[in-house]
Amino acid sequence: MRPERALRQAVKATAAALDRVRRPAPGVVVLCYHRVGGGSGLELDLHVDTFAAQMAEVADRAVPLPVALDHLRDASAPPGPHPVVVTFDDGTADFVDRALPVLAQYRVPATVYVATAHVDEGEPFAYGAPPASWGGLRDAAATGLVTVASHTHRHRLLDRLPAPDVHDELDRSIELIGERIGAAPLDFAYPKAVRPSPVADQAVRARFRSAALAGTRANRPGATDPFLLARSPIQASDGMAWFRCKLAGGLALEDGLRDVLNRRRYAGAVR
């Protein structure tokens, strides 16, 4: 086993051990995917068979994001089992080509947060993935399973932008999705799950009904800000064992370590 993979597995095992000491709070788990296909070897790129097994696991509990938001507003919601929400970031071509057939097979609804400049201009994402086409995203939305949401226009980190640029990133994305898909987006995800500045937070709240970050924990009914939704990033190294831990709202330690690393990694970045 390569050292990097061994370290990831050790972190997951430690996080799972902590969960046994302090059980994760129940609630709505929002899963965050990026790519399906497995050809790149990246942690964010799952093999199709793994993704299919995970969708089979959640099919009975998966609901559209708006249904989950209603559930989260209900402080009297029973303790469980709570709904699960499937989301994708970016809007890559493999979402349409590889993930969508699996979602359709298991009738799992999903929200895809699209960085619209990549789709509109055909610009590959930073990790080399080609974007979906507008036609492909329209076809996905036409299934009734997929909701197209906003991930900014150029995938810029909003916490370090002046107010005019923040507004442009959001408004251009809303405009393009409305024009190309036929329905303006109501939901948003922050690029790289970087928390917003006060200016960005205010701008997002004025335009959308929800906003997603990371978190690797469940969202508790009656105690969740819909503009700070926690999502559990699913990795290739999760397989099914660690996936089930995340499905139970666990492995928070992994996310805490990732947040520390990301603050350093993106300190001078704008995208």
Q: Kindly state whether residue 178 falls inside one of the protein's structural domains.
A: yes
Q: Is 225 contained in some domain?
A: yes
Q: Is residue 200 part of a domain?
A: yes
pLDDT at residue 161, as a whole number? 96
pLDDT of residue 264: 61
Predicted TM-score (pTM) of this structure = 0.93
Instruction: Identify whether 38 is part of a domain.
Output: yes
Q: What is the predicted pLDDT for the residue at 6?
A: 72
Domain limits at 152?
A: 28-73+85-234
Average pLDDT, the chain: 91
Domain assignment present for 115? yes
Residue 248 C-alpha from the chain's centroid: 17
Tell me, yes or no, whether 108 lies in a domain.
yes
Exposed/middle/buried for residue 223 (C-beta within 10 Å: 0-12, 13-18, 19+): exposed
CATH number where 202 lies: 3.20.20.370
Are residues 96 and 157 in contact, defined by beta-carbon separation less than 8 angstroms? no
Whole-angstrom distance, CA of residue 168 vs CA of residue 165: 5
Average pLDDT over every residue of 47-63: 98
Let me know if residue 177 belongs to a domain.
Answer: yes
pLDDT at 107: 98
Q: Which phi and psi (to 5°) does residue 45 adopt?
A: -115, 105
Q: Residues 142-147: what's their mean pLDDT?
A: 98
User: How many domains does one find in the chain?
Assistant: 1
Within a domain: residue 135? yes
- Spatial distance between the Cα atoms of 209 and 60, rounded to a whole number of angstroms: 25
CA–CA gap between residue 229 and residue 250 (Å, rounded): 15
Q: pLDDT tens across 79-125, in order?
A: 777 899 999 999 999 999 999 999 999 999 999 999 999 999 999 99
pLDDT for the residue numbered 159: 94
pLDDT, one tens digit per residue, over 206-236 is 999 999 998 899 999 999 999 999 999 999 9
Residue 63 region by backbone torsions, left for phi larger than 0, else alpha for psi between -120 and 50, else beta: beta
